[in-house]
Structure 1
């Protein structure tokens, strides 16, 4: 949290498997209130650093490419120092169960790294985690209860000090975007 030219600011890291809609979500959040036209998705190579500018807020977003997350593990220690917020984007459509397991492992690995490098323990700061169940507009998407179970959230909460929120979303039809923006605003 800080002050950026008279506005409150913070940074957040966005992770998730390839094809979950991370970059599309960030682009859509940047253009809330405009006539947004989605471009065809292009896989993120490495990571993108973007800003979401709202009236009184600037949120810097580190958007990690799903296929490159582990290839860049050597920079995790530098990037995850003092991190307090993480967004996990998952594809909640029916056929994405294999990717949910990948998302679970990614979330656990990143939280382990954050906890280790920041010397967090049960008596220190809480890491805020937003799980975005994207693509909820598609037929037969996972329920929030199914996603909660597939991500092994009970086990996660038993071992880490995190504040967790789930949001169903669809970048295509703007479902859930206001909930995500409200969560981001509460970070600053």
Structure 2
């Protein structure tokens, strides 16, 4: 009988590792309520001791927290850099595009400056010719008829408005 009781106590104690095995109280020796309170106090003491044993020191807690935060930060940095980082081929591609734009812009500037120079030359030639003609026309005014340019006139264009086809008779 004693061995079966020990087996039951072992089974109960193995079922929950944080609890102490139950001890039986013989009748009439002590009060059951007092025994229950003592058992609860002992159980709480046992649980506190097991928590203290499993608790890390403050230094270990801070160290593990710092390590986890550093790992998280490194992961974020790696993710950000992998997203924004360009390899050599991409860098060369963007440089070639930029160089092509600069070359095209310089060609356009050269073209515009050459056209501007030719325009300025033609303008000067026309100005010189126009200065020479009035002086010649003053001397030759009797011989050649003057060319007159037509003066600009204002021409009104009638708009084609669609008529509704309704006529109003105001006469009686």
Same fold (TM over 0.5): no
Q: Which has the higher contact order (CA 8 A, sep 6+)?
A: 1
Q: How high is the TM-score relative to the length of structure 1?
A: 0.15
Q: How high is the TM-score relative to the length of structure 2?
A: 0.15
Which has a greater percent of helix?
2
Query: Which is higher, the Rg of structure 1 or of structure 2?
Result: 2
